[in-house]
Amino acid sequence: MLAVVFQVRRTETAPGPQKPQLNVLLWQRAREPQRGAWSLPGGRLRDDEDITTSVRRQLAEKVDLRELAHLEQLAVFSDPDRVPGRRVIASTFLGLVPFPATPELPPDTRWHPVTALPTMAFDHGPMVAHARTRLIAKMSYTNIGFALAPREFVVSTLRDIYGAALGYQVDATNLQRVLARRGVITPTGTFAQSGRSGGRPAALYRFTESALRVTDEFAALRPPG
């Protein structure tokens, strides 16, 4: 079992205000083969558990990650030569952590921007790419954004989260219109606190549901042309 866990995060090392980026959780291998390479968290399925329970256990035990808002099985990677030695078939999962949660991680575990991945172990790089492609698709026709966003948010925050996940700039007004029309988001009736510059406070929204559902099976969010 291997988990591709994404979170939209701001760059922690760069100076000044930073646009959020889609990050993936990786841990650095301490043993051969490919010692020092970065890999997806996971491990072997025990005889007394199903695969979803196994993934949740391993994320909790190995990287102390418990803040998952969504987890689903994605694909099976079965190339006979995907790892050295005895054949190992890997089942991958997509996990999402909401913004701006800050899970405490072990020293050998870090978030990495998906646009600047380090040297990856085995076939874990293609696994990340496959999971990202699936996430982008689901952002169009489901309400999966609930698992990346905070409980309450202003539209500009949601725009940044969608833009980071999709990989291109999103217009806040159009996004609000589309998601509201599909019944995905709803106003809370409250407002965010004004910033230092003052001005009219922005309305707060929330997702209407915190479970995955298809909102428009033929829909597609597209980059501005």
Residues 81 and 60: their CA atoms lie apart, in Å, by 29
pLDDT tens per residue across span 123-150: 999 999 999 999 999 999 999 999 999 9
Q: What is the pTM of this model?
A: 0.92
- Count H helices and E strands in the chain, helices first: 4, 8
Q: What is the pLDDT of residue 138?
A: 95
Which one-letter amino acid corresponds to residue 123?
Answer: D
Mapped onto helix, strand or coil, the DSSP state of residue 19 is coil
pLDDT tens, residue by residue, 74-100: 999 999 999 998 899 999 999 999 998
Which structure tokens are listed for 87? Answer: 């054949």
In angstroms, rounded to a whole number, what is the distance separating the alpha carbons of residues 106 and 52?
A: 22
CA distance 108 to 113: 16
User: Are 142 and 99 within 8 A, CB to CB?
Assistant: no
Low-confidence ranges of the chain (pLDDT < 50): none
The CATH code of the domain at 142-207 is 1.10.10.10
Whether the bond between 187 and the residue before it is cis, its omega within 30 degrees of 0, is no
- In whole angstroms, give the CA distance from residue 157 to residue 11: 16
Q: What are the C-alpha distances in Å from 26 to residues 37, 105, 154, 211?
A: 10, 10, 30, 26
Domain spans of the chain, in order of start:
2-140, 142-207
How many Å apart are CA 55 and CA 70, to the nearest integer? 12
Please tell me the predicted confidence (pLDDT) of residue 80: 92
The topology (CATH level 3) of 2-140 is Nucleoside Triphosphate Pyrophosphohydrolase (3.90.79)
State how far the Cα of 93 lies from the Cα of 73, in Å rounded to an integer: 4
pLDDT reported for residue 197: 60
Structure tokens at 164: 């980071």
Asked if 145 contacts 194 with a C-beta cutoff of 8 angstroms, the reply is no
